[in-house]
Chain A
Amino acid sequence: MITTYLFYFLSFLAIMFGLMVVLSKNPIHSVLYLVLCFFTIAGHYVLLNAQFLAVVHVIVYSGAIMVLFLFVIMLLNLNKETEPHKSIWLKASAAVAAGSLLLVMVASLKGASTIQSVNTFNPNIGLIENLGTTLFKDFLLPFEVSSILLLAAMVGAVMLGKKSIK
């Protein structure tokens, strides 16, 4: 019962902060609202009993990526004078494109009540032991491939960051 109320509360906050990200004039405020939005999503993970995912979400997104975002935006010193002016047609087409995406996503909810889940929901899947077993037994190859992908991205970042390659 209390989880239902918490779900609605967190969803309300997540949507509100999501809107504030888009609507705030100041880019720093947008980033801070995005951080708050990530916290509410981490709350949703906790409601699904996926504490590991929740805390990793906070560490990686709020703790590392958003700090770097904030870092860059603070250094760029964006304000009204430096904001690039976009033509009215560009704005209109962006509004139409985003609006139709919203329409599609809302329309897909129409049949949501008839969807049957293929696998039964295991409430303990988010606990770290089960998650580790699943990752290293059932999904070992995708896991290793994604780690190689991350390693390649890391090497690429170091190469790009080097001032001169000799």
Chain B
Amino acid sequence: MTLGYVIYKLILAVIVFTVTLLIAMYSTYAERKVAGFLQDRLGPNRAGWFGILQPVADAVKLFMKEEMIPSVSNKTLFIIAPGLSLLTACMTGVVIPWGTSLTIFGTSYSLQVTDLNIGILYLFGVVSIGVYGIMIGGWASNNKYSLLGAMRASSQMISYEVAMGISIIALIMTTGTLSVGQIAAQQHGWHWNILVQPLGCLIFIICAFAETNRAPFDLPECEQELVGGYHTEYSSMKMGFYLFAEYINMFVSSAVISTFYFGGYNMPFIGRFVHDGNLLAILGVVFLFAKIFFGIFFFMWVRWTIPRFRYDQLMNLGWKTLIPLSILNLVLTGAWMMRHEIISVFIK
């Protein structure tokens, strides 16, 4: 491990972090523009050209607002919780392969911060600890609406993690690896995993919606029933952190869905037109981000189209529909992989 290697990894990590924050920032703008488009309005158009400075204005507004801390709450946990939410949201970016590798002066630099041999499990672990920020925040607010929001968030996340885990197991069975980098590399050409695992992909996307607390699964912050859900008592930038964490989660979920099921940085037929390795790597990054942006747009499209579930509908969907379907998917995948052995048993 030389000094150059450390510096390169550090630069890459900082770039990933900055791009994540930048995209989350402009997701807030995109969300309002998409909402405006879908509802036949204009959306924000005052700050700057086409309202392009709106996120900056929002950030300034949030920083300038008066900060309220409920006197009865647990102050330490109340302050830690939004930061924890943002931290776990930012942690997932390191295992995602943003591209193949750049060759600069004869040295190859991979565009993935770290290719853990248990990358998928790392992602899953970070997702599963992501609920703490919401739970601690909801409890420390000492408000019944906050607590109910936190309860809803945790039970929803635990319920949908099961189906998500089983759909990932089916994916691991077909790819035969737990490394996210290898999964992306295997999808070269037209070998996208959605063609192999269409049902698993659908289940994974639905669970990703539930894990990010996005509509139609945004019951933890359901305004009509719970005021503001787990962030009722939060004001100023602390609330901004929670909202920001949601947008980062959305970005990371889109990146994970693109990498797992939609070919990651691969684009079919591009190898016929471009032969330079570095240009291919850069184009790969562009393709991945195009897929991610479509994913984010899809998240917003669904939010402004489909109404929120009722709580019992949410639980029924999770436990009685998605989990049996994901187990069926797992069994079918296993049966297809062992088809020669099964057929040979019946023929004899």
A-side residues, CB < 8 A to B, are 26, 28, 32, 35, 51-52, 55-56, 58-59, 62-64, 67-68, 70-71, 74-75, 127-128
Contact yes or no, B129 A51, CB < 8 A: no
Within 8 A of A (CB), among B101-138: 116-118, 121-122, 124-125, 127-129, 131-132, 135-136
A64 touches B118 (CB 8 A): no
Which residues of B lie under 8 Å from residue A74 when comparing CB positions?
A: 135, 139, 147, 150-151
Q: A59-B124, A62-B128, A64-B128 are in contact. Are A51 and B117 (CB under 8 A)?
A: yes
A32-B136, A67-B131 known; A56 vs B154 contact (CB < 8 Å): no
Contact A75 B158 (CB under 8 A): no
Q: Which residue of B lies closest to A127 (CB)?
A: B117
Give B140's nearest chain A residue, CB to CB.
A28
Instruction: Verify A28–B139 contact, CB threshold 8 A.
Output: yes
Is chain B's binding surface mostly helix, strand, loop or mixed? helix
Contacts A58-B129, A71-B155, A75-B151: A64 and B161 contacting too (C-beta < 8 A)?
Answer: yes
Once the chains bind, are A68 and B135 in contact (CB under 8 Å)? Answer: no
Asked if B300 lies at the interface with its beta carbon under 8 angstroms from chain A, I say no
B77, B125, B132, B147: which contacts A67 (Cβ < 8 A)?
A: B132
How far, in angstroms, from A28 to B127 measured CA to CA in the complex?
21
The reply to whether B132 and A128 form a contact with Cβ atoms under 8 Å apart is no
How many A-B contacts at CB < 8 Å in the complex?
63
Number of interface residues of B (CB under 8 A): 26
The 25 sampled A-B contact pairs (Cβ below 8 Å) are A26-B74, A28-B74, A28-B77, A35-B132, A51-B116, A51-B118, A55-B118, A55-B121, A58-B129, A59-B124, A59-B128, A62-B128, A62-B129, A63-B128, A63-B129, A63-B131, A63-B161, A64-B128, A67-B131, A71-B135, A71-B154, A74-B135, A74-B139, A74-B150, A128-B118
- Tell me, yes or no, whether B208 is within 8 Å of chain A by CB: no
Across-interface contacts of A52 in B (CB, < 8 A):
118, 121
Residues of chain B within 8 A (CB-CB) of A28 are 74, 77, 139
The answer to whether A67 touches B121, judged by C-beta atoms less than 8 angstroms apart, is no
Complex CA–CA separation, A71 to B125 (angstroms):
19
Q: Are A58 and B125 in contact (CB under 8 A)?
A: yes
- B-side contacts of A128, CB under 8 Å: 117-118, 178
Which residues on the B side are within 8 Å of A55 (C-beta)? 118, 121-122, 124-125
Provide the bound-state CA to CA distance between A63 and B136, in Å: 14
B158 and A64 within 8 A (CB): yes
